[in-house]
Amino acid sequence: MSTDNITLQEQFEELMHSGNETSIREFLNDQNISDVAELINDLPEYESQIVQHMNMHRAASVFKILDLSTQKAIIQELPPYKTAELLNELPADDRTAFLEELPSEVVKEFIRLLDPEERRVTLALLGYPEGSVGRLMTPDYIAVQVDWTVQEVLEHIREVGKDSETIDVIYVVTDKGEFVDDIRIREILLAGPEKNVGELIDNRFIALHVNDDQEEANQVFKMNNRVALPVIDDKNLLLGIVTIDDILWVANEEFSEDMQKMGGTEALDEPYLEMPIMKLFKKRVVWLVVLFLGEMLTATAMGYFEDEIQKAVVLALFVPLIISSGGNSGSQASTLIIQAMAVGEITLIDWWRVLRREIISGLMLGAMLGLIGFFRVVFWNTIFHTYGDHTLMVAFTVGFSLVGVVLWGTVSGSMLPIVLKKLGADPATSSAPFVATLVDVTGLIIYFSTAYIFLRGILL
């Protein structure tokens, strides 16, 4: 913790001990929003008191950047009238994001605390499908009409701008509320006051549909370098806007979910420390069982080659080396492709380019590991005489097996996410453990098939 943070913390604790309400309020309202949020994280015993002592508008700004667990704790400790003030002050999109994480019974209680207009907006947003753009949008934007002059637009901004989520972009609509175009505030400020809005628009807008997936919206923002985008329905009515800060939260949540899936577990819909142990068990056990059943196929494959192992026990010594190399190469490829697909670097039409690159990479990586494996067998036998009279053939078996297994690992690890995406599944579910399990089984087949080629008539 930095010295500045310690000083801020000490100042606040000293004020709390003094009991001077006015000084506490002035102190908190004078701090940056991020500093107050850090103060809450550092002093959880004071979290609700900090919110209560702040100007409610600033308190809402702090509340919306806190972790969900901290938000829940604060709401539980606040008196009902303060909870009502806070919820009504929160922007509609942030309020919706908070409420959708709570049990339905709690949500009903909080909905009753809202003012009629805020209640209407919140219920409308909660009515859209979970994970859709509709859950992210806010109705607080500036809309103008095509026939307005720039002077009229500026007067309208001065009148309603303080209640808008952003004034960086102005939205042009018809008198029926149909979306026409959007204009950056820069164009408004640089235009003459008598100029008509219709003369400033070019009809080359980008809009989100209210039922679009939030991940798709993330890609649209990324590809078009926008700070806010309009949200329309099937009738082209402007329903609200989505701003970049909400998309950044979505991107962070999607990244966390993908990381959890790639680790071989279902995505957690609650903070780790808050999730009941039985729910956490259910999230983890499914994939573990699937992977366990998959690994049982490894034992089946070993049983199929039991005769070969009995004739050449030395082959069993290299089984862990072979299957781990294949699993590692597959996990590498899978992780790279999933990440590239997540950021839009790879699409389904790129599958052939990916396959060609991974075949070349697999051969190069396999050759490198194969050479190391070959010389390791020869070198070890030279010193310890471990592998008998046919060391060279065993070394060739290990070397060529590594080439085949690593090649198969890279190809399967890179293609599986693409196949799943094509089937409509989440590529992240082709997690590293899943790919490793798949390659373990097939790696044994490659290994013993290679051994049969090199050692037939010698040890087999």
Distance of alpha carbon 169 from alpha carbon 29, whole angstroms: 29
Taking residue 184's Cβ as centre, other Cβ atoms within 10 Å add up to: 14
Inter-residue contact 399 to 453 (CB < 8 Å): no
- Backbone phi and psi for residue 185, each to the nearest 5 degrees, phi listed first: -60, -30
Residue 110 identity: F
Burial of 456 from C-beta contacts in 10 A (0-12 / 13-18 / 19+): exposed
Q: Hey, what are 239's tokens?
A: 């329903």
> 240-278, pLDDT tens digit by residue?
999 888 888 888 877 777 777 777 777 777 777 777 888
Distance of alpha carbon 26 from alpha carbon 54, whole angstroms: 8
- Our separate counts of H helices and E strands in the chain read 20, 6
Q: What is the pLDDT of residue 6?
A: 59
Q: What is the pLDDT of residue 246?
A: 86
Cα-only R_g, the chain: 31
- Residue extent(s) of CATH 1.10.357.20 domains in the chain: 272-455
- Closest residue by Cα to residue 28 from 50, 61, 6: 50
Asked if CATH classification 3.10.580.10 holds for the domain at 143-243, the reply, yes or no, is yes
Q: What share of the chain is helix, strand, coil (3-state, %, to 5)?
A: 70, 5, 20
CATH of domain 272-455: 1.10.357.20
**Cα-based torsion angle of the residue sequence 334, 335, 341, 344 in order, rounded to the nearest 10 degrees:** -150
- Residue extent(s) of CATH 1.25.60.10 domains in the chain: 3-127
- State the angle between helix axes of 432-455 and 319-342 in degrees (0 to 180), rounded to the nearest 10: 140
Q: What is the pLDDT of residue 277?
A: 87
pTM above 0.75, yes or no: no
Q: pLDDT under 50 in the chain at which residues?
A: 1-3, 5
Distance of alpha carbon 186 from alpha carbon 391, whole angstroms: 76
Question: Residue 102 is inside which H or E element, if any?
Answer: none
Q: Hey, what are 259's tokens?
A: 């990381």
Q: What is the pLDDT of residue 3?
A: 43
> 90-144, pLDDT tens digit by residue?
998 899 989 988 888 889 899 989 999 899 999 889 999 988 999 989 888 999 9
Residue 453 identity: I
- Closest residue by Cα to residue 4 from 24, 44, 32: 32
Residue 149: HSE in the Cβ half-sphere, 13 Å Cα cutoff: 7
User: Is 172 in a helix, a strand, or coil?
Assistant: strand
Distance of alpha carbon 28 from alpha carbon 56, whole angstroms: 11
- Residue extent(s) of CATH 3.10.580.10 domains in the chain: 143-243
Inter-residue contact 99 to 110 (CB < 8 Å): yes
Distance of alpha carbon 427 from alpha carbon 418, whole angstroms: 7
Question: Residue 239 is inside which H or E element, if any?
Answer: strand 238-243
The CATH class given to the 3-127 domain equals mainly alpha
